[in-house]
């Protein structure tokens, strides 16, 4: 199924960097591109848009082309009183207990571009353009807030409250890229989802505004989307806008109009509620749509990892999360993950650890680069070379990759349809086995 059938063809308005018509030397314009926020695209489909009453969440992570993204699992943990946690740049107070989480993240940082927790909460992060310059002082990154929201929130609303309270305390700032030549910082937006609702959260420094969604289709991109329909906000947000001379209390408060760049169009959200019969496969195909820019492939940016989550309506049914852990979803395999006790860790989808010697941790940061390629990434890079250079062999290889993915999707249908929790013994090795099979297939 192609994405026009999903009714989101107009998502092209969210694309910031269209595919280059002619390849130029990347070095000539690298400085300009590096100042641009990575294109964001995330969505959630609520019933009746979905085929079986499921909530379907998806996210493409567009990042610098050579950046490696890994998929990591962390079990739930009880922490001692007074514990601290070291995030990407700063140390903050830890909570008594953190949820089990699965994260897709750039391998050099602590947080995540996207992920889920054991309670069926999913969060995606995006960088947004606003009239307020983003802070360069090291604080919490938007990606750190994704992990913190997942570790501390058992519902979408709890995750929202976690992020906003920490944002008000610690702010946001720091380099979004593993680059020692300049600091690239951006304001953050989030799509926070569970089985019953979603929250779109858009931020300006420590200020924020949120909108609740319970039906239809919502998408997240690099533009502010919340206008006058506001369900929660920072208590001093409007005073801040007044102090800047951007709004007076005579006018209706339109968040996007007040804080967007001059002449910036508002992002389209939500899409049509007429969409129906959306399946996990259809959501995957949407993320593969290169034509409309949902799949980013430009001189500097590439969709380096993708995620689709399927959240059944019944709380007793198991949620299924699909990750690529490799670049370009049109040429990657979406592999299923399910939260159960004693999930088998997947080192083959995790990057090497450099400890305190990591250039991302030593100051001044990012003065050198290390090899962050994990075993799956390396095997997949080999497969892409075959696909690109050997027409017949490459096409056959791609068809076999998609067949492996289809088998995984079909295997998940019974689990998603069941009203009973899945047997942990059956799926504890699920993601591990899928990654292992994919690597063996490439070799």
User: In the 8-state DSSP scheme, what is residue 36?
Assistant: S
Helices (DSSP H) in 306-390: which residue ranges?
Answer: 375-389
Percentage of the residues of the chain whose pLDDT score is greater than 70: 89
Q: Are the CB atoms for 176 and 194 separated by under 8 Å?
A: no
Question: For residue 358, which phi and psi values (nearest 5 degrees)?
Answer: -65, 130
Separation of alpha carbons 26 and 216, rounded Å: 40
Q: How confident is the model at residue 12 (pLDDT cuts 50, 70, 90)?
A: very low
32 pLDDT more than 90: no
334 pLDDT more than 90: yes
Q: How confident is the model at residue 45 (pLDDT cuts 50, 70, 90)?
A: very high
What pLDDT shows up at residue 149?
98
Separation of alpha carbons 323 and 333, rounded Å: 8
Separation of alpha carbons 404 and 424, rounded Å: 22
Tell me the per-residue pLDDT of 406-421, one tens digit each, with 9 for 90 and over.
999 999 999 998 888 8
Helices (DSSP H) in 207-331: which residue ranges?
Answer: 237-243, 255-259, 280-287
15 pLDDT more than 80: no
Q: How confident is the model at residue 14 (pLDDT cuts 50, 70, 90)?
A: very low
What pLDDT shows up at residue 36?
77
Separation of alpha carbons 45 and 47, rounded Å: 7
Mean pLDDT value across residues 210-235: 94
Separation of alpha carbons 439 and 435, rounded Å: 6
Tell me the per-residue pLDDT of 135-148, one tens digit each, with 9 for 90 and over.
999 999 999 999 99
The CA–CA distances, whole Å, from 111 to 22, 166, 303, 430 equal: 35, 14, 18, 24
Helix axis angle for 430-442 and 375-389, nearest 10°, is 40
How many C-beta atoms lie closer than 10 Å to residue 372's C-beta?
A: 22
234 pLDDT more than 70: yes
Question: How far is C-alpha 289 from the geometric centre of its chain's CA atoms?
Answer: 17
pTM over 0.95: no
What pLDDT shows up at residue 266?
58
Separation of alpha carbons 39 and 223, rounded Å: 10
What pLDDT shows up at residue 267?
54
Q: Which of 192-196, 262-266, 272-276, 346-350 has the lowest mean pLDDT?
A: 272-276
275 pLDDT more than 70: no
Mean pLDDT value across residues 373-392: 94
Mean pLDDT of the chain: 89
323 pLDDT more than 50: yes
């Amino acid at each position: 199924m192609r994405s026009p059938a999903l009714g989101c063809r107009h998502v092209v308005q969210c694309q910031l960097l269209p595919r280059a018509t002619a390849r130029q030397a990347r070095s000539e314009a690298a400085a300009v591109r590096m100042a641009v926020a990575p294109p964001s695209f995330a969505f959630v489909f609520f019933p009746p848009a979905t085929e079986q009453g499921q909530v379907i969440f998806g996210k493409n992570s567009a990042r610098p082309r050579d950046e490696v993204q890994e998929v990591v699992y962390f079990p739930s943990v009880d922490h001692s009183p007074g514990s601290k946690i070291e995030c990407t740049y700063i140390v903050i107070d830890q909570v008594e207990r953190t949820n089990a989480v699965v994260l897709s993240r750039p391998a050099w940082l602590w947080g995540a571009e996207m992920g889920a927790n054991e309670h069926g909460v999913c969060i995606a992060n995006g960088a947004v353009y606003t009239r307020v310059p983003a802070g360069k002082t090291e604080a919490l990154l938007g990606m750190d807030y994704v992990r913190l929201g997942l570790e501390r929130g058992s519902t979408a609303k709890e995750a929202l409250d976690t992020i906003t309270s920490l944002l008000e305390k610690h702010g946001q700032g720091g380099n979004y890229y593993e680059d020692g030549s300049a600091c690239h910082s951006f304001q953050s937006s989030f799509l926070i989802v569970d089985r019953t609702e979603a929250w779109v959260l858009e931020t300006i420094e420590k200020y924020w505004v949120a909108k609740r969604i319970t039906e239809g289709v919502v998408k997240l991109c690099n533009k502010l989307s919340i206008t006058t329909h506001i369900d929660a906000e920072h208590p001093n947000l409007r005073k801040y806008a007044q102090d800047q001379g951007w709004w007076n209390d005579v006018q209706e408060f339109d968040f996007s109009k007040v804080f967007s760049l001059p002449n910036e169009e508002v992002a389209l959200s939500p899409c049509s509620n007429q969409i129906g019969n959306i399946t996990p496969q259809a959501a995957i195909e949407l993320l593969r749509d290169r034509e409309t820019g949902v799949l980013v492939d430009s001189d500097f940016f590439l969709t380096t990892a993708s995620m689709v989550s399927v959240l059944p309506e019944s709380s007793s049914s198991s949620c299924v999360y699909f990750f690529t852990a490799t670049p370009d979803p049109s040429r990657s395999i979406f592999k299923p993950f399910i939260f159960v006790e004693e999930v088998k860790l997947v080192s083959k989808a995790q990057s090497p650890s450099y400890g305190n010697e990591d250039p991302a941790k030593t100051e001044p940061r990012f003065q050198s680069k290390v090899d962050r390629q994990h075993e799956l990434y390396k095997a997949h890079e080999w497969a892409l070379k075959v696909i690109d250079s050997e027409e017949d062999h490459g096409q056959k290889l791609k068809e076999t990759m998609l067949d492996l993915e289809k088998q995984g999707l079909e295997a998940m249908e019974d689990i998603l349809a069941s009203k009973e929790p899945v047997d942990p013994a059956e799926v504890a090795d699920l993601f591990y086995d899928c990654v292992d099979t994919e690597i063996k297939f490439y070799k």
